[in-house]
Structure 1
Amino acid sequence: MAEKKLTVLQMLPALEGGGVERGTLEVAEALAGRGHRSLVISAGGRMVQQLEAEGSEHFCWPVDRKTPWTLRLIWPLRRFLKEQGVDILHFRSRVPGWVAYLAWRGMDRHSRPRLISTVHGLHSVSAYSAVMTKGERVIAVSKTVQRYILENYPSTPPERINLVYRGVDPAAFPYGYKPADEWLTNWYKEFPQLRGKKVLPLAGRITRLKGHHDFIDLIQMLIEDGMPVHGLIVGGKDPRRLAYAEELQEKISSLGLQGDITFTGNRSDIRDVYAVSDLVLSLSTKPESFGRSVLEALSMGVPVVGYDHGGVGEILKALFVEGLTPLSDIDQLKNRVKKLLNSRCCVEKNKVFLHASMIEKTLAIYAECSR
């Protein structure tokens, strides 16, 4: 029997960049590639061009605004769902989730789309966040998220929760990847201070929860122990938290580490950055729902040391248990990093958290719901 062609609408706040956005684009590309109609509603952003180039249709709606005004979109969305013949309505965040859920709930139950939600984050537990569990199917991006739902929203039937790990495409982050000579030449022109050093990046947006203070303390301790290391803070400054970035720079200056820690800003070449790194750090002080940057580095065979909690701990337990270290214990963190830098550790190939598996499981849920 031929596969039923579906019209799938995904909703998220915006398409500027991040894990939720990348997951949306990956599913959208797979849908379009298989002949389904892929629609996305968001407030727009720099990833819209890629989304449309890969075969999806984008509709720019202000579903990123956390104000009661946004609920005015319920009635236009209800009309949109009918006019476009949407079979699957899939929301991935709370504000668009409330618009989607309330629009869907007011439709005829025999003709409305099937409703799916994906819980990408460990949101504060509240009636506002509870909308993420309102899908007829609720996708959890990790076992950490699955436990979070069951513990904090016990009214959610366990059989409605589907575990679908986020995944990395081995072609995008190849095991053993080496950068091109031209890239290396340009890299060392830009950052000559890295020559002859053990390079340790901490990747992610510069926000307080990412553990930058622990990272700075780690670099200081390693240097005091005679280790030839250089720390990289890889990621853009959050416009709403510029004072935090200044706080980090002041701390680095006060410790005399200006020549030992470099802010690289956002990098579109993160794969190459990982490839020239000796060890990647993940030091979020709050548990993360998944930990894509950890998985990307491990998929390339680059060792990672991360705090043993949340999705990061989950990934390390599966792929590189040697990289686990207790939360916020700086001495143990230092000892773990030193041990790995002084040994020839080997990271197993990623066979668990794969992009293809994530796509197949998500599309299978769509197909099952639409029967």
Structure 2
Amino acid sequence: MKVVQFLPSLELGVTATLALEFANELVKRGHESLVISAGGPLEARFRLHGSEHVNFPKISESVWSLRHKSRLRRILAELQPDIVHTYGRSTAFLTWRALKREPAGSRPKLVPLVDQYLSNSYFNKGVACGDGIIATSQGIAEHLKKSSTRFTEKSIEIIYRGINIREFDNEKPVASQWQLKLLNSYPQLEGKNWWLMPGVISASDGQEAFLHMFAQAAAQRDDIHGVIVGRLADNDLRYLKKLEALAQDLNLGGRVTFLGERRDMRELYATSQLVFHLAKEGDESGKYSKEALAMGRPVIAYSDGCAGEVLQKYFPDGLVRRGDMTALVELSLNLVSRPSTLNSQDFSYAVAADKTVVFFQGLLN
């Protein structure tokens, strides 16, 4: 089976990493893996593991992207893939338009991946016209079907995003040198129980809710310290400044630390008392909850998102109703239980790839 993954770029981030791991799994299974994108830092890793990369202009949700339609059609005619797996509405829309006039029996199957609620947009049509759709949670699949009749008769497969189970191995000890180095850099963390808030720093990832919750909890406990970790969305320094100002307004000076983007998430999970996943509804994949649970950490998350679906199975004690700040504070202060042992294989890249390949093969058959 020849699979093309089409995404805007290979910049460091969740989407490109997911595409990279899936490409690696395809090659391991003997399938042909190709990637179309504007390139980026991860391009060399795709090639290293046996995938072919085709450069393509970076596109966005704009009618101007349609000027690349003929170019994409020529590339796909040359590559002759069985599947075109798209990430984001813009790539799905352009692929649909490029293949629209091709005979149904000879064109590749279009399979968009949907990892968030889709707002009303003309570009949704590219997703709706896919031969099959992969949703990364039950909630997203249900939202698709409710949002438009175009989706009600579509084959929508729910496949949770995988995590790197080699990296998030709970049985590996945390090196004492790591903790010493961290405390030397951030002495305010020493002797405190860390409440960890991982995620992209953006208005949709829940840092503001975390700060409001933590302010109320910190007023009742002196032994806790909030740790916010993650990269800036679109290098938006203004939003980071807004969060830092909010922390000051809530009298959290010295009680919350912004660590920025880190490459030691396994250690941070392992040494935190609690992990929070408070993204806005429909704007999260449950990634951080899976990683934290794999590390044996208790997670608190809203009950209506992908993270909530994960916790419902593995750690229901950590569920809280969205918008109920009082319940969120109380649960955070009183949660003493620990997750049952998570079979991290359930969320491995390999399992996600197996399910995706089976779905692709079903569409081809």
TM superposition score normalised by structure 1: 0.92
**Residue 32 of structure 1 pairs with residue 31 of structure 2:** no
Matching residue within 222, 240, 252 for 2:247: 252
Q: Deviation of residue 170 (structure 1)?
A: 2.9
User: What letter corresponds to residue 353 of structure 2 in structure 1?
Assistant: I
Residue 39 of structure 1 aligns to a residue in which SS? Answer: strand
1:266-325 CA-partner distances (Å, limit 9, x unpaired) = 112211111111110112233335211111111111111112222121111111101011
Q: Which residue of 2 aligns with 1:153?
A: 148
Matching residue within 327, 339, 344 for 1:346: 339
* Equivalences, count: 364
Q: Which residue of 2 aligns with 1:58?
A: 53
Matching residue within 201, 209, 214 for 1:206: 201
Q: Deviation of residue 241 (structure 1)?
A: 3.5
User: What letter corresponds to residue 186 of structure 2 in structure 1?
Assistant: F
Asked if the contact 1:169/1:356 (under 8 Å) is kept, the reply is no
Question: What is the correspondence of 1:130-141 to structure 2 with a 5 Å cutoff?
Answer: 130-141=125-136
- Over 3 Å counting, the alpha-carbon distance change for 1:365 and 1:287 in structure 2 is closer
Deviates further, 15-24 or 82-91 = 15-24
- Over 3 Å counting, the alpha-carbon distance change for 1:254 and 1:155 in structure 2 is closer
**Residue 82 of structure 1 pairs with residue 77 of structure 2:** yes
Alignment partners' CA distance in 2, 1:157 and 1:213? 35
Asked if the contact 1:285/1:328 (under 8 Å) is kept, the reply is no
Question: What is the correspondence of 1:5-154 to structure 2 with a 5 Å cutoff?
Answer: 6-154=1-149
5+ residue gaps, structure 2, are: none
Q: Which residue of 2 aligns with 1:166?
A: 161
Question: What is the correspondence of 1:186-205 to structure 2 with a 5 Å cutoff?
Answer: 186-205=181-200
- Over 3 Å counting, the alpha-carbon distance change for 1:29 and 1:323 in structure 2 is same
1:64-97 CA-partner distances (Å, limit 9, x unpaired) = 3333222121111111112122221111211111
Query: What is the root-mean-square deviation in Å for CA atoms of aligned residues?
Result: 1.9
Alignment partners' CA distance in 2, 1:252 and 1:229? 15
Q: Which residue of 2 aligns with 1:3?
A: none
Asked if the contact 1:118/1:139 (under 8 Å) is kept, the reply is yes
Alignment partners' CA distance in 2, 1:55 and 1:287? 34
Alignment partners' CA distance in 2, 1:358 and 1:55? 19
Asked if the contact 1:316/1:323 (under 8 Å) is kept, the reply is yes
Q: Deviation of residue 263 (structure 1)?
A: 0.7
Question: What is the correspondence of 1:278-297 to structure 2 with a 5 Å cutoff?
Answer: 278-297=273-292
TM superposition score normalised by structure 2: 0.93
5+ residue gaps, structure 1, are: 1-5
- Over 3 Å counting, the alpha-carbon distance change for 1:287 and 1:162 in structure 2 is closer
Percent of aligned pairs with the same residue?
A: 31
Alignment partners' CA distance in 2, 1:43 and 1:149? 28
Deviates further, 71-80 or 251-260 = 251-260
- Over 3 Å counting, the alpha-carbon distance change for 1:277 and 1:258 in structure 2 is same
Alignment partners' CA distance in 2, 1:162 and 1:285? 23
Alignment partners' CA distance in 1, 2:245 and 2:4? 46
Alignment partners' CA distance in 2, 1:123 and 1:240? 23
Asked if the contact 1:140/1:163 (under 8 Å) is kept, the reply is yes
Q: Which residue of 1 aligns with 2:180?
A: 185
**Residue 336 of structure 1 pairs with residue 331 of structure 2:** yes
Asked if the contact 1:66/1:95 (under 8 Å) is kept, the reply is yes
